[in-house]
A = this chain, B = another copy of it.
Amino acid sequence: MTTHLNAHAVILAGGIGSRFWPASTPERPKQLLPLASPRPLIDETLERAAQLFGHGRVSIVTSNQLATAFDRMGVLGGTTVLAEPVARGTAPALAWAAHQLERRDPGAIMVSMHADHRIQPQAGLRDSLARAVELASDGYLVCIGARPDRPETGYGYVQLGESLGDGGHEVGAFVEKPDHDTAVSYLDGGHHLWNTGIFVWRCADLLEAVATHAPEVPLGPLDRADVEGFFEGCESIAIDVAVMERAGRVATVEARFEWDDVGVWDALGRTRESDDAGNTVVGAGRLIDSENNIVWTETTRANVVGVSGLVVVEANGELLVMPRSESARLNEARARLDASGSDEADA
């Protein structure tokens, strides 16, 4: 039997994942979709957390609406649900979660993870988190960093500072999403890791850092009655910006696992199985003379002939056809489609 990590898990599960439209919708967000395996992301994530931290030491931060959806799916188990009254980004959410945990278990260390990322193998995650928990016990705010294997422009990066031993480093700087040339230089240089959005800290340390560095997140007593007022009083801000980029004692641990944020349709080519021609098909689909397509169907069967590099998605009454290379810009494309006004031709 495995010993559990001596920490609490906080799973962030409030987002929609709008770049998986039309499969993702506000009612059925990304974490409910089988994007990294045949199981919904949330199901994998909660199972993983329960195995690593033990039942009863996993919380999920989400909306009331999604909490109901998760409950209906039967994935919550013993998970504590922290329902945000309103979404204000990760900084208010994590400050609130840290406050709740600190009250329940003074001196507790928390590990925050997103519900909709792909991580494997589990053993590698466990090793990395164990090292991060050590650093957190020394007062560090820790970000898990993943070694890049491509010049990804869709992720933020962590610049490595002085080594702390055993995979740990001080953080030189947090860097926003780079342009392609910069991403290539990071890949070649070897001194930058992807910011995975997995953080480890003592709850008390995070709360102190928020109080010191993040005026956008005004901490008050944060008791049950005050939660709504707390969120309403916060600016919408990410923890990276509010705390990690500003605080002093910040470290990173290099991930001993593969990590993918499964951010856009293009990612399915990495996270789901592909055929010999590089086509990834989820749902019913048949392809000939076609390479490197992403196909997702829910109520129809796709028949794809002689095309390459496309995303073809049928879900929720919508059909999407676009180049994979454009899939990171899906939100902009949707806004333009909505504005195009050419909704329906005579039939």
Residue of B nearest to A281 (CB): B345
> Per a CB cutoff under 8 Å, which of B38, B342, B347 touches A347?
B38
Q: Which of A168-176, A235-243, A255-263, A321-329 contacts B (4 or more CB under 8 A)?
A: A321-329
Would A342 and B286 be within 8 Å (CB), given that A300-B319, A319-B300, A347-B38 are in contact? yes
Q: How far is the CB of A135 from chain B (nearest CB, A)?
A: 39
Q: CB of A218 within 8 A of chain B? A: no
B302 contacts A321, CB within 8 Å?
A: yes
> Per a CB cutoff under 8 Å, which of B286, B297, B342, B347 touches A287?
B342
Q: Which residues of B contact A321 (CB under 8 A)?
A: 302-305, 307, 310, 312, 321
Q: CB of A320 within 8 A of chain B? A: yes
A337 contacts B288, CB within 8 Å?
A: yes
Q: Which residues of B contact A334 (CB under 8 A)?
A: 303
Size bracket, chain A contacts = 35 or more
Residue of B nearest to A314 (CB): B319
Contact string, A334-347, partner B, CB cutoff 8 A, digits 1/0?
Answer: 10110010111111
Q: Which residues of B contact A343 (CB under 8 A)?
A: 284-286, 301
B300 contacts A317, CB within 8 Å?
A: yes
Q: Which residues of B contact A336 (CB under 8 A)?
A: 288
**A27-53 with Cβ < 8 A to chain B:** 34, 38
Q: CB of A245 within 8 A of chain B? A: no
Would A288 and B326 be within 8 Å (CB), given that A301-B318, A307-B310 are in contact? no
Residue of B nearest to A315 (CB): B300
Residue of B nearest to A22 (CB): B303
Q: CB of A299 within 8 A of chain B? A: yes
Q: CB of A73 within 8 A of chain B? A: no
Q: How far is the CB of A34 from chain B (nearest CB, A)?
A: 7
What number of copies of this chain does the assembly contain?
Answer: 2
Q: CB of A306 within 8 A of chain B? A: yes
Q: How far is the CB of A228 from chain B (nearest CB, A)?
A: 37
Q: CB of A273 within 8 A of chain B? A: yes
Residue of B nearest to A341 (CB): B286
Q: CB of A275 within 8 A of chain B? A: yes
Q: How far is the CB of A303 from chain B (nearest CB, A)?
A: 5
Q: How far is the CB of A258 from chain B (nearest CB, A)?
A: 20
Q: Which residues of B contact A22 (CB under 8 A)?
A: 303
A314 contacts B314, CB within 8 Å?
A: yes
Docked complex Cα distance between A208 and B154 (Å)? 76
B340 contacts A322, CB within 8 Å?
A: no
B286 contacts A337, CB within 8 Å?
A: yes
**A266-307 with Cβ < 8 A to chain B:** 273, 275, 281-288, 297, 299-307
Residue of B nearest to A330 (CB): B305
Please provide the 9 A-B residue pairs with the shortest distance between their CB atoms, ordered closest to farther: A305-B322, A281-B345, A300-B319, A302-B319, A305-B333, A286-B337, A284-B344, A303-B320, A38-B346
Beyond A301-B317, A305-B321, 20 extra complex contacts between A and B, CB < 8 Å: A22-B303, A38-B347, A273-B345, A273-B346, A281-B342, A282-B345, A283-B344, A283-B347, A286-B342, A299-B299, A301-B319, A301-B344, A302-B319, A303-B318, A303-B319, A303-B334, A305-B322, A305-B326, A307-B321, A312-B321
